[in-house]
């Protein structure tokens, strides 16, 4: 097996002052990357700010012989994000890897959720990732190399009670990944997503302690390293937790052509089981695959 190393690479990890982000930063540094450790230093709900958490991780990396810089930008502040990327470029000349890990929680059932809390979670997870991608993109295009890892979630992929804001933002990151991977392909920019199950500040109190003990953040890190490496795939959603790794796919069934007419709603209801039958489903290479399938069946039915 070829070694997964990052010698000569420069990485930015957001939300890296603790938990999973800290483990990402430490692992990248241990394998040779120069790492900019970003963390707002706030609470799980996003309140407060201090660069102390990021600096502590930087100190750990330096003590182990690595190179690192601390940054306290909020990913919701585009100007600050641009300055963060420039900080890495000024220090090391390039940015090869971006791990979008920063996030917050404001959990409540949708009926009780304040829309300001919905928007804030979307701003941090989705707009924060978009801002970071936008800031590194021209550098990656210019150097014809880049690896971007989104952090999605099983909540985004499959739902979870009390997390409508978080789930919406996390699945939106997958949508962002899909298009950026297509647009980045000609520039050797590969974009993937990681869906971690890990015990961090954001999961405390949500699971029994014995489960939390099994879900060490370190167990997720190998998936990130694979997705961030020069040998990475692109448009892949890797799920990881407790040392187990899976892949998630957004698929398209073969479907049924019914045509148009006044009774089509009744026909669709009657044949819905056939429409959702997963036999022969595909993982589309782009959004046009749906239309291609639909038009193809319509023309074949003439």
Catalytic residue numbers, as ranges? 166
Instruction: State the first-to-last Cα distance of the chain, in angstroms, to the nearest integer.
Output: 53
Separation CA 194–CA 15 (nearest Å): 15
- What DSSP designation does 163 have? B
121 in Cβ contact with 33 (< 8 Å): no
DSSP structure class, residue 211:
H
- DSSP per position, 233-276: -SS-EEEEETTEEEEE---B-------SSTTHHHHHHHTHHHHS
Cβ contact 146:99 at 8 Å? no
Pairing of strands 68-71, 10-13: unpaired
What is the crossing angle of helices 78-92 and 128-143, to 10°?
Answer: 30
Q: Output b/e per residue, 4-43; b: 16+ Cβ within 10 A.
A: eebeebbbbbbbbbbbbbbbbbbbbbbbebbbbbbbbbbe
Enumerate residues 6+ apart whose C-beta is below 8 A from 262: none
Give the Cα separation of 85 and 94 in Å (integer). 9
């Amino acid at each position: 097996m070829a070694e997964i190393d990052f010698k000569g690479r420069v990485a930015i990890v957001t939300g890296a002052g603790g938990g999973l982000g800290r483990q990402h930063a430490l692992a990248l540094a241990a394998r040779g990357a120069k790492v900019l450790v970003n963390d707002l230093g706030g609470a799980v709900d996003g309140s407060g700010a201090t660069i102390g958490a990021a600096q502590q991780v930087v100190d750990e990396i330096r003590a182990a012989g690595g190179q690192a810089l601390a940054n306290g930008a909020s990913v919701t502040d585009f100007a600050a994000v641009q300055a963060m990327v420039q900080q890495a470029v000024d220090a090391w000349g390039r940015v090869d890897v971006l791990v979008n890990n920063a996030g917050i929680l404001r959990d409540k059932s949708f009926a009780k959720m304040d829309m300001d809390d919905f928007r804030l979670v979307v701003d941090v997870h989705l707009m924060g990732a978009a801002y970071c991608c936008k800031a590194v993109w021209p550098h990656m295009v210019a150097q014809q190399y880049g690896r971007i890892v989104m952090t999605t979630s099983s909540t985004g992929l499959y739902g979870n009670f009390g997390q409508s804001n978080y789930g919406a933002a996390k699945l939106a990151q997958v949508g962002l990944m899909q298009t950026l991977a297509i647009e980045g392909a000609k520039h050797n920019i590969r974009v993937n997503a990681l869906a971690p199950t890990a015990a961090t500040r954001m999961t405390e109190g949500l699971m029994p302690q014995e489960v939390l003990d099994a879900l060490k953040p370190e167990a997720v890190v190998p998936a990130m390293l694979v997705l961030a490496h020069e040998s990475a795939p692109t448009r892949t959603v890797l799920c990881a937790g407790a040392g187990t790794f899976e892949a998630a796919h957004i698929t398209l069934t073969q479907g049924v052509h019914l045509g148009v007419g006044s009774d089509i709603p009744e026909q669709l209801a009657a044949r819905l089981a056939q429409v959702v039958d997963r036999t022969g489903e595909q993982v589309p290479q782009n959004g046009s695959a749906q239309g291609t399938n639909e038009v193809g069946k319509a023309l074949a039915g003439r």
